[in-house]
């Protein structure tokens, strides 16, 4: 039998061993370690600072008081609490789709959607940098998997040319609107043109864009005016929405099909009502003057620290390459009071280790300036 100790030793030797760090508190802008040390937090996905917003906390408390803590069953078994339907119709209105379905997590949304809509004989075409949840969903679906180099339209076209779609098969292109570890954008307009030309469907995971782009904050599809052009709009409330839970916004028929066939929806207990209530309040905030103001604060921070490229966003990668060096630089920053995570294989390709700086509306301009100085002092 293969020894777990050997496997762990291999990881340590490659500077790929990971350990849980215990926190006693966290906010968008800071972390408190178990020993009481407080670090400036530049590793959070709570991009708008909503996870500690009083309105979300209050919504969660009220829902727990009204419904209890657990949801008690899968939504198909004893019935579906009204709070989920309210969340889903509010989300569909924001996304300007017919319907929406929520899942316990974004991971469950990705796996449930892809396995429900694809089967053997179908084809799923993924961007090389797609999130693990999308890869796992594609693998579990039994469809043929094709991968195109990150954002390569030429290669995507080539794959589509080689993929005949018949009346009884499906081809789904899968990408993210903002890539989680690179902070760059997919060329969504061009991909929409391609999938229309070849009669494929498109799934866009807006995990890192939901709440952050477009006048209403619904994501890149809204910002680019593509909400009617994308069949499958996926995302999560666990990042900028400051709550938890995945979603798929799509046509009424697709949503009905998922209710009947997405195994991560059917065979899993509904998430706590408090989670749905916090997500619902988050949507109202995102689609309000306060949401717009928070997005503007974030833009100011981005402009103060990101390289001056046209598509800089709230995720700023600092390429380092070697995993050991990335871990060392991250440790030096921690000594100076800044938490900036080192991202290593298998989250990113081998030898493309990096620091991943994420900014939130909870940071102050002073925090950003201090981070800039700290990065300079460690030679990053
Ligand atoms: C975080 C993330 C997910 C998973 O969402 P959870 O709600 O955390 O399970 C899916 N896709 C992408 C691109 C993500 O970054």
Least confident range from 95-104, 169-178, 370-379: namely 370-379
Q: Is the CB of 110 under 6 A from ligand 1?
A: yes
Question: Looking at residue 335, what is its pLDDT?
Answer: 94
Pick the residue with more confidence: 28 or 315?
A: 315
Q: Decide if 161 is catalytic.
A: no
Ligand 1 atom at shortest distance from the alpha carbon of 244:
7
Does the structure show a pLDDT above 80 at 102? yes
In the chain, what is the straight-line distance between the N-terminal and C-terminal CA atoms, in Å?
Answer: 43
How far is it, in rounded angstroms, from Cα 91 to Cα 233? 11
Question: Looking at residue 196, what is its pLDDT?
Answer: 97
Grade residue 374 by pLDDT with cuts at 50, 70 and 90. Answer: very high
Pick the residue with more confidence: 94 or 13?
A: 94
Q: How far is the CA of 205 from the centre of ligand 1 (A)?
A: 8
* Whole-number average pLDDT of the chain: 95
- CA dihedral 166→170→171→175, nearest 10 degrees, is 160
Degrees to nearest 5, angle at CA 355 with 38 and 247: 85
Q: Decide if 373 is catalytic.
A: no
Q: How far is the CA of 239 from the centre of ligand 1 (A)?
A: 8
* Percent residues over pLDDT 70 in the chain: 99
The answer to whether 225 touches 207, Cβ cutoff 8 Å, is no
Q: Is the CB of 254 under 6 A from ligand 1?
A: no
DSSP string of 244-309, one letter each residue? --EEEEE-HHHHHHHHHH-HHHHTSPPPPHHHHHHHHHHHHHHTSHHHHHHHHHHHHHHHHHS-S-
Q: Is the CB of 133 under 6 A from ligand 1?
A: yes
Determine the residue of 51, 210, 234, 238 to mutate for testing ligand 1's pocket, defined as the one with the most ligand atoms within 8 A of the Cβ atom.
238
Ligand 1 atom at shortest distance from the alpha carbon of 107:
9
Q: Is the CB of 182 under 6 A from ligand 1?
A: no
Helix/strand/coil (H/E/C) assignment for every residue in 164-177: CCCCCCCEEEEEEC
Q: Decide if 208 is catalytic.
A: yes
Grade residue 17 by pLDDT with cuts at 50, 70 and 90. Answer: confident
* Number of neighbouring beta carbons within 10 Å of residue 11: 13
* Mean pLDDT (whole number) for 195-218: 98
Q: Out of 195, 239, 314, 363, pick the active-site residue.
A: 239
**CA 351 → CA 16, 80, 118, 194, 354, distances in Å?**
11, 47, 33, 32, 9
How far is it, in rounded angstroms, from Cα 70 to Cα 269? 9
Does the structure show a pLDDT above 90 at 146? yes
Q: How far is the CA of 1 from the centre of ligand 1 (A)?
A: 34
How far is it, in rounded angstroms, from Cα 326 to Cα 334? 12
Q: Out of 46, 176, 182, 287, pick the active-site residue.
A: 176
Q: How far is the CA of 107 from the centre of ligand 1 (A)?
A: 6
Q: Is the CB of 176 under 6 A from ligand 1?
A: yes
Q: What is the pLDDT of residues 276-330, one digit of tens each?
A: 999 999 999 999 999 999 999 999 999 999 877 778 999 999 999 999 999 999 9
* Mean pLDDT (whole number) for 325-354: 93
3-state secondary structure of 147: strand
Q: Decide if 52 is catalytic.
A: no
Ligand 1 atom at shortest distance from the alpha carbon of 238:
7
Instruction: Take atom 3 of ligand 1 and give the residue whose Cα is closest.
Output: 106
Residues in the chain: 380
Q: What is the pLDDT of residues 223-238, one digit of tens each?
A: 999 999 999 999 999 9
Q: Decide if 366 is catalytic.
A: no
Alpha-helix residue ranges (DSSP H) falling in the chain: 4-13, 54-67, 82-95, 106-117, 132-141, 153-161, 188-198, 220-223, 252-261, 263-266, 273-286, 289-305, 323-335, 365-377
Least confident range from 164-168, 192-196, 321-325: namely 164-168
Q: Decide if 82 is catalytic.
A: no
Q: How far is the CA of 74 from the centre of ligand 1 (A)?
A: 21
Grade residue 165 by pLDDT with cuts at 50, 70 and 90. Answer: confident
- CA dihedral 17→21→26→32, nearest 10 degrees, is -130
Q: Out of 53, 95, 195, 208, pick the active-site residue.
A: 208
Tokens of 57: 């906390």
Determine the residue of 236, 264, 343, 356 to mutate for testing ligand 1's pocket, defined as the one with the most ligand atoms within 8 A of the Cβ atom.
236
Q: Decide if 17 is catalytic.
A: no
Grade residue 379 by pLDDT with cuts at 50, 70 and 90. Answer: confident
Instruction: Take atom 10 of ligand 1 and give the residue whose Cα is closest.
Output: 106
Q: What is the pLDDT of residues 38-57, one digit of tens each?
A: 999 999 999 999 999 999 99
**CA 200 → CA 169, 194, 292, distances in Å?**
10, 8, 34
Question: Looking at residue 307, what is its pLDDT?
Answer: 79
Instruction: Take atom 14 of ligand 1 and give the residue whose Cα is closest.
Output: 207
Q: Is the CB of 356 under 6 A from ligand 1?
A: no
* Percent residues over pLDDT 90 in the chain: 90
3-state secondary structure of 76: coil
């Amino acid at each position: 039998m293969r020894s777990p100790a050997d496997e762990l030793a291999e990881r340590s030797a490659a500077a790929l061993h990971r350990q849980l760090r215990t926190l006693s508190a966290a906010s968008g802008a800071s972390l408190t370690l178990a020993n009481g040390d407080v670090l400036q937090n530049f590793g959070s996905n709570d991009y708008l600072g909503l996870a500690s917003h009083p309105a979300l906390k209050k919504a969660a408390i009220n829902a727990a008081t009204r419904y209890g803590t657990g949801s008690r069953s899968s939504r198909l078994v004893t019935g579906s609490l009204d709070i989920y339907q309210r969340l889903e119709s509010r989300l569909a209105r924001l996304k300007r789709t017919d319907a929406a379905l929520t899942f316990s997590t974004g991971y469950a949304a990705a796996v449930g959607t892809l396995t429900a809509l694809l089967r053997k004989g179908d084809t799923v075409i993924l961007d090389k940098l797609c999130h693990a949840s999308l890869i796992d969903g594609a693998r579990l679906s039994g469809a043929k998997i094709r991968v195109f180099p990150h954002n390569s339209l030429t290669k995507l076209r080539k794959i589509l040319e080689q993929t005949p779609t018949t009346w009884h098969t499906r081809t789904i292109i899968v990408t993210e609107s903002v890539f989680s570890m690179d902070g760059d954008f997919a060329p969504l307009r061009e991909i929409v043109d391609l999938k229309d030309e070849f009669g494929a469907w498109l799934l866009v995971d807006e995990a890192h864009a939901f709440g952050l782009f477009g006048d209403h904050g619904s994501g890149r599809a809204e910002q680019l005016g593509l909400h009617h052009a994308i069949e499958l709009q996926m995302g999560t409330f666990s990042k900028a929405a400051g709550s938890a839970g995945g979603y798929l916004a799509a046509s009424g028929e697709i949503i009905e099909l998922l209710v009947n066939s997405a195994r991560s929806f059917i065979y899993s207990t509904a998430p706590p009502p408090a989670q749905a209530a916090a997500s619902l309040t988050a949507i109202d905030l995102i689609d309000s003057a306060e949401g717009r103001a928070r997005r503007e604060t974030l833009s100011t921070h981005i402009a103060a620290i990101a390289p001056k490229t046209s598509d800089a966003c709230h995720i700023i990668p600092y390429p380092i390459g070697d995993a050991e060096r990335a871990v060392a630089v991250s440790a030096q920053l921690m000594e100076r009071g800044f938490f900036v995570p080192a991202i290593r294989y298998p989250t990113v390709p081998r030898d493309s280790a990096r620091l991943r700086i994420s900014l939130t509306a909870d940071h102050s301009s002073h925090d950003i300036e201090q981070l800039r100085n700290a990065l300079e002092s460690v030679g990053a």
